[in-house]
Structure 1
Protein backbone atom coordinates (compact mmCIF):
# COMPACT_ATOMS: atom_id res chain seq x y z
CA UNK A 1 0.00 0.00 0.00
CA UNK A 2 1.38 3.43 -0.87
CA UNK A 3 0.84 6.39 1.37
CA UNK A 4 0.72 10.13 1.00
CA UNK A 5 3.87 11.58 -0.56
CA UNK A 6 4.99 15.18 0.07
CA UNK A 7 7.70 17.40 -1.39
CA UNK A 8 8.16 20.98 -0.25
CA UNK A 9 9.33 23.49 -2.86
CA UNK A 10 10.03 27.21 -2.96
CA UNK A 11 8.33 29.13 -5.76
CA UNK A 12 11.02 30.54 -8.07
CA UNK A 13 11.02 33.52 -10.44
CA UNK A 14 10.75 31.20 -13.47
CA UNK A 15 7.41 29.87 -12.14
CA UNK A 16 5.84 33.34 -12.28
CA UNK A 17 3.83 34.60 -15.25
CA UNK A 18 3.09 38.11 -16.52
CA UNK A 19 0.30 38.49 -13.96
CA UNK A 20 2.76 38.03 -11.09
CA UNK A 21 1.71 34.57 -9.85
CA UNK A 22 2.56 30.95 -10.60
CA UNK A 23 1.53 30.13 -14.17
CA UNK A 24 -1.16 27.48 -14.59
CA UNK A 25 1.12 25.22 -16.66
CA UNK A 26 3.63 25.18 -13.82
CA UNK A 27 1.06 23.45 -11.62
CA UNK A 28 0.74 20.69 -14.24
CA UNK A 29 4.54 20.39 -14.34
CA UNK A 30 4.52 20.10 -10.54
CA UNK A 31 1.95 17.29 -10.86
CA UNK A 32 4.39 15.44 -13.14
CA UNK A 33 7.36 16.20 -10.88
CA UNK A 34 5.78 15.00 -7.63
CA UNK A 35 4.32 11.90 -9.33
CA UNK A 36 7.77 11.04 -10.70
CA UNK A 37 9.40 11.44 -7.28
CA UNK A 38 6.67 9.30 -5.72
CA UNK A 39 7.05 6.43 -8.20
CA UNK A 40 10.82 6.54 -7.76
CA UNK A 41 10.27 6.17 -4.01
CA UNK A 42 8.00 3.20 -4.79
CA UNK A 43 10.85 1.62 -6.79
CA UNK A 44 9.47 2.24 -10.30
CA UNK A 45 11.55 4.99 -11.86
CA UNK A 46 12.57 5.33 -15.50
CA UNK A 47 15.28 2.66 -15.15
CA UNK A 48 12.69 0.11 -13.99
CA UNK A 49 10.23 1.16 -16.70
CA UNK A 50 12.83 0.53 -19.39
CA UNK A 51 13.81 -2.84 -17.90
CA UNK A 52 10.15 -3.91 -17.70
CA UNK A 53 9.44 -2.53 -21.21
CA UNK A 54 6.29 -0.76 -20.11
CA UNK A 55 5.47 2.51 -18.40
CA UNK A 56 2.68 4.64 -17.05
CA UNK A 57 1.68 7.66 -19.15
CA UNK A 58 -0.79 10.42 -18.36
CA UNK A 59 -4.00 10.20 -20.38
CA UNK A 60 -6.27 12.61 -18.53
CA UNK A 61 -5.82 15.50 -16.07
CA UNK A 62 -8.43 17.36 -14.06
CA UNK A 63 -7.27 20.47 -12.24
CA UNK A 64 -8.78 23.01 -9.89
CA UNK A 65 -6.91 26.24 -9.20
CA UNK A 66 -8.07 27.59 -5.84
CA UNK A 67 -5.62 30.35 -4.88
CA UNK A 68 -2.59 31.98 -6.49
CA UNK A 69 0.97 31.21 -5.40
CA UNK A 70 3.75 33.81 -5.49
CA UNK A 71 7.52 33.93 -5.74
CA UNK A 72 9.35 32.97 -2.57
CA UNK A 73 6.48 31.02 -1.02
CA UNK A 74 6.94 27.50 0.36
CA UNK A 75 4.45 25.05 -1.15
CA UNK A 76 3.88 21.40 -0.24
CA UNK A 77 3.24 19.28 -3.34
CA UNK A 78 1.24 16.28 -2.14
CA UNK A 79 0.20 13.22 -4.13
CA UNK A 80 -1.35 9.83 -3.47
CA UNK A 81 -2.81 6.94 -5.42
CA UNK A 82 -6.52 6.44 -4.92
CA UNK A 83 -7.45 3.62 -7.33
CA UNK A 84 -5.99 1.03 -9.70
CA UNK A 85 -7.16 -1.55 -12.22
CA UNK A 86 -5.40 -3.74 -14.80
CA UNK A 87 -4.67 -0.83 -17.17
CA UNK A 88 -4.99 2.38 -15.17
CA UNK A 89 -3.86 4.01 -11.97
CA UNK A 90 -5.54 7.10 -10.58
CA UNK A 91 -3.48 9.71 -8.76
CA UNK A 92 -4.66 12.71 -6.72
CA UNK A 93 -2.83 15.94 -5.87
CA UNK A 94 -3.21 18.77 -3.36
CA UNK A 95 -0.76 21.70 -3.23
CA UNK A 96 -0.64 23.57 0.06
CA UNK A 97 0.87 26.94 1.01
CA UNK A 98 2.51 26.73 4.40
CA UNK A 99 2.43 30.43 5.32
CA UNK A 100 -1.36 30.74 5.48
CA UNK A 101 -2.29 27.04 5.56
CA UNK A 102 -4.20 27.25 2.27
CA UNK A 103 -4.88 24.59 -0.33
CA UNK A 104 -3.87 26.28 -3.58
CA UNK A 105 -4.57 23.53 -6.06
CA UNK A 106 -6.27 20.15 -6.35
CA UNK A 107 -6.11 17.75 -9.25
CA UNK A 108 -6.10 14.19 -10.45
CA UNK A 109 -4.56 12.21 -13.27
CA UNK A 110 -5.56 8.99 -14.96
CA UNK A 111 -2.39 7.09 -15.88
CA UNK A 112 -2.39 4.26 -18.45
CA UNK A 113 0.05 1.39 -18.65
CA UNK A 114 1.61 1.18 -22.12
CA UNK A 115 4.22 -0.89 -23.88
CA UNK A 116 7.19 1.44 -24.43
CA UNK A 117 8.13 0.13 -27.90
CA UNK A 118 4.65 0.39 -29.42
CA UNK A 119 2.81 2.84 -27.17
CA UNK A 120 -0.07 0.35 -27.02
CA UNK A 121 -2.05 -0.30 -23.83
CA UNK A 122 -0.71 -3.14 -21.72
CA UNK A 123 -1.95 -4.85 -18.59
CA UNK A 124 0.14 -3.88 -15.60
CA UNK A 125 2.78 -6.36 -14.56
CA UNK A 126 2.69 -7.62 -10.96
CA UNK A 127 5.60 -5.25 -10.25
CA UNK A 128 3.39 -2.30 -11.18
CA UNK A 129 0.18 -3.48 -9.55
CA UNK A 130 2.00 -4.24 -6.28
CA UNK A 131 3.67 -0.81 -6.17
CA UNK A 132 0.68 1.25 -7.32
CA UNK A 133 -1.62 0.41 -4.45
CA UNK A 134 -4.18 2.98 -3.30
CA UNK A 135 -3.55 5.00 -0.18
CA UNK A 136 -4.83 3.59 3.10
CA UNK A 137 -8.46 4.73 3.31
CA UNK A 138 -8.04 5.74 6.96
CA UNK A 139 -5.69 8.58 5.95
CA UNK A 140 -6.98 12.07 5.18
CA UNK A 141 -4.90 13.45 2.31
CA UNK A 142 -6.16 17.00 2.98
CA UNK A 143 -4.86 17.03 6.54
CA UNK A 144 -1.74 19.19 6.52
CA UNK A 145 -1.63 19.57 10.30
CA UNK A 146 1.78 17.88 10.40
CA UNK A 147 3.22 21.22 9.25
CA UNK A 148 3.51 24.03 11.76
CA UNK A 149 4.09 27.77 11.44
CA UNK A 150 7.87 27.32 11.38
CA UNK A 151 7.53 25.76 7.90
CA UNK A 152 9.14 22.58 9.16
CA UNK A 153 7.29 19.28 8.95
CA UNK A 154 6.35 17.69 12.21
CA UNK A 155 6.73 13.92 12.47
CA UNK A 156 4.44 12.30 9.95
CA UNK A 157 3.58 8.97 8.40
CA UNK A 158 4.17 10.18 4.84
Structure 2
Protein backbone atom coordinates (compact mmCIF):
# COMPACT_ATOMS: atom_id res chain seq x y z
CA UNK A 1 0.00 0.00 0.00
CA UNK A 2 1.17 3.51 -0.77
CA UNK A 3 0.86 5.90 2.16
CA UNK A 4 1.74 9.32 0.77
CA UNK A 5 -1.28 11.27 2.07
CA UNK A 6 -2.40 14.74 0.93
CA UNK A 7 -4.63 17.10 2.95
CA UNK A 8 -6.85 19.52 1.00
CA UNK A 9 -8.85 22.17 2.91
CA UNK A 10 -12.35 23.22 1.83
CA UNK A 11 -14.75 25.90 3.10
CA UNK A 12 -18.37 25.11 2.25
CA UNK A 13 -20.01 28.05 0.45
CA UNK A 14 -23.64 28.73 -0.40
CA UNK A 15 -23.22 27.52 -4.01
CA UNK A 16 -22.35 24.06 -2.63
CA UNK A 17 -25.75 23.68 -0.93
CA UNK A 18 -28.70 21.86 -2.50
CA UNK A 19 -32.47 22.19 -1.94
CA UNK A 20 -32.25 19.97 1.16
CA UNK A 21 -29.91 22.45 2.85
CA UNK A 22 -26.71 20.39 2.75
CA UNK A 23 -23.82 19.96 0.34
CA UNK A 24 -24.94 18.54 -3.00
CA UNK A 25 -23.57 15.09 -3.83
CA UNK A 26 -21.96 16.32 -7.06
CA UNK A 27 -19.93 18.87 -5.11
CA UNK A 28 -18.12 16.04 -3.33
CA UNK A 29 -16.96 14.76 -6.74
CA UNK A 30 -15.59 18.18 -7.63
CA UNK A 31 -13.77 18.42 -4.30
CA UNK A 32 -12.24 14.99 -4.78
CA UNK A 33 -11.04 15.85 -8.27
CA UNK A 34 -9.65 19.18 -7.02
CA UNK A 35 -7.80 17.36 -4.21
CA UNK A 36 -6.37 14.78 -6.64
CA UNK A 37 -5.13 17.52 -8.99
CA UNK A 38 -3.64 19.53 -6.10
CA UNK A 39 -1.89 16.39 -4.81
CA UNK A 40 -0.47 15.71 -8.26
CA UNK A 41 0.78 19.30 -8.57
CA UNK A 42 2.40 19.05 -5.13
CA UNK A 43 4.24 15.94 -6.33
CA UNK A 44 5.56 17.78 -9.38
CA UNK A 45 2.98 16.43 -11.82
CA UNK A 46 0.93 19.38 -13.01
CA UNK A 47 -0.65 20.09 -16.38
CA UNK A 48 2.67 21.04 -17.98
CA UNK A 49 4.39 17.77 -17.04
CA UNK A 50 1.53 15.63 -18.33
CA UNK A 51 1.34 17.68 -21.54
CA UNK A 52 5.06 17.04 -22.07
CA UNK A 53 4.34 13.28 -21.93
CA UNK A 54 1.16 13.71 -24.02
CA UNK A 55 -0.59 11.57 -21.38
CA UNK A 56 -3.04 12.20 -18.57
CA UNK A 57 -5.59 10.78 -16.18
CA UNK A 58 -9.31 10.22 -16.80
CA UNK A 59 -11.90 8.83 -14.41
CA UNK A 60 -13.13 5.28 -15.07
CA UNK A 61 -15.32 4.99 -11.97
CA UNK A 62 -16.19 6.57 -8.63
CA UNK A 63 -17.52 4.93 -5.51
CA UNK A 64 -18.73 7.17 -2.69
CA UNK A 65 -20.32 6.40 0.65
CA UNK A 66 -21.97 9.44 2.24
CA UNK A 67 -22.02 9.14 6.04
CA UNK A 68 -22.95 12.59 7.38
CA UNK A 69 -24.09 15.84 5.72
CA UNK A 70 -21.95 18.95 5.38
CA UNK A 71 -23.44 22.43 5.67
CA UNK A 72 -22.67 25.99 4.62
CA UNK A 73 -19.66 27.48 6.46
CA UNK A 74 -18.33 24.05 7.50
CA UNK A 75 -14.54 23.76 7.29
CA UNK A 76 -13.63 20.44 5.72
CA UNK A 77 -10.54 18.52 4.83
CA UNK A 78 -10.29 16.11 1.92
CA UNK A 79 -7.65 13.51 2.72
CA UNK A 80 -6.46 11.59 -0.33
CA UNK A 81 -3.79 9.12 -1.35
CA UNK A 82 -3.00 6.77 -4.21
CA UNK A 83 -3.75 3.31 -2.89
CA UNK A 84 -2.30 1.31 -5.78
CA UNK A 85 -1.06 1.42 -9.35
CA UNK A 86 -1.63 -1.03 -12.18
CA UNK A 87 -0.07 -0.95 -15.62
CA UNK A 88 -2.34 1.83 -16.98
CA UNK A 89 -4.40 2.92 -13.96
CA UNK A 90 -4.46 3.74 -10.28
CA UNK A 91 -6.90 3.64 -7.41
CA UNK A 92 -7.08 6.84 -5.37
CA UNK A 93 -8.89 6.91 -2.03
CA UNK A 94 -10.49 9.81 -0.20
CA UNK A 95 -11.94 10.71 3.19
CA UNK A 96 -13.90 13.90 3.76
CA UNK A 97 -13.56 15.18 7.35
CA UNK A 98 -15.40 18.02 9.08
CA UNK A 99 -12.76 19.84 11.11
CA UNK A 100 -15.03 21.05 13.93
CA UNK A 101 -16.00 17.56 15.15
CA UNK A 102 -13.60 15.32 13.15
CA UNK A 103 -16.53 13.35 11.69
CA UNK A 104 -15.82 11.43 8.51
CA UNK A 105 -18.56 12.73 6.23
CA UNK A 106 -17.76 10.56 3.23
CA UNK A 107 -15.34 7.91 2.04
CA UNK A 108 -14.63 7.30 -1.62
CA UNK A 109 -12.37 5.85 -4.22
CA UNK A 110 -11.77 6.63 -7.85
CA UNK A 111 -10.32 4.36 -10.49
CA UNK A 112 -8.24 6.61 -12.73
CA UNK A 113 -7.09 5.43 -16.17
CA UNK A 114 -3.83 6.74 -17.65
CA UNK A 115 -4.28 7.65 -21.33
CA UNK A 116 -2.18 8.56 -24.31
CA UNK A 117 -3.81 11.92 -25.14
CA UNK A 118 -3.12 11.66 -28.87
CA UNK A 119 -4.30 8.10 -29.46
CA UNK A 120 -6.95 8.10 -26.70
CA UNK A 121 -5.90 4.65 -25.54
CA UNK A 122 -4.53 3.39 -22.21
CA UNK A 123 -0.83 4.05 -21.64
CA UNK A 124 1.63 2.52 -19.19
CA UNK A 125 2.08 4.70 -16.09
CA UNK A 126 5.71 5.81 -16.07
CA UNK A 127 7.81 4.70 -13.10
CA UNK A 128 8.66 8.35 -12.32
CA UNK A 129 4.96 9.05 -11.64
CA UNK A 130 4.61 5.96 -9.47
CA UNK A 131 7.69 6.97 -7.48
CA UNK A 132 6.34 10.49 -6.93
CA UNK A 133 3.29 9.14 -5.09
CA UNK A 134 5.10 6.67 -2.86
CA UNK A 135 6.03 7.70 0.67
CA UNK A 136 9.43 6.02 0.66
CA UNK A 137 10.31 6.40 -3.02
CA UNK A 138 10.83 2.65 -3.45
CA UNK A 139 10.05 1.15 -6.84
CA UNK A 140 7.13 -1.26 -7.11
Q: TM-score, normalised to structure 2's length?
A: 0.91
Match of 1:130, SS state, is: helix
Contact 1:80 1:93 in 2 (8 A): yes
Question: Aligned-pair distance for 1:98?
Answer: 1.1
Equivalent position of 2:47 in the other structure: 46
Are 1:94 and 2:120 counterparts? no
Query: How many Å apart are 1:8 and its aligned residue?
Result: 1.4
Give distance in 1, aligned partners of 2:133 and 2:120. 20
Equivalent residue, structure 1, for 2:62: 61
Contact 2:58 2:114 in 1 (8 A): yes
Alpha-carbon displacement from aligned partner over 1:83-113 (angstroms, at most 9, x marks no partner): 1121111100000001122000100011111
CA distance in 2, matches of 1:73, 1:100: 10
CA distance in 1, matches of 2:11, 2:118: 37
Distance in 1 (CA, whole Å) between partners of 2:57 and 2:132 is 12
Q: Which has the higher strand share?
A: 2
- 1:1-158 paired onto structure 2 within 5 Å: 3-133=4-134
Secondary structure (helix, strand or coil) at the match of 2:122 reads coil
Q: How far did residue 9 of structure 1 move? A: 1.3
- Give the count of matched residue pairs: 135
- Per-residue CA distance 1:39-59 (angstroms, 9 max, x = gap): 001111111110011111111
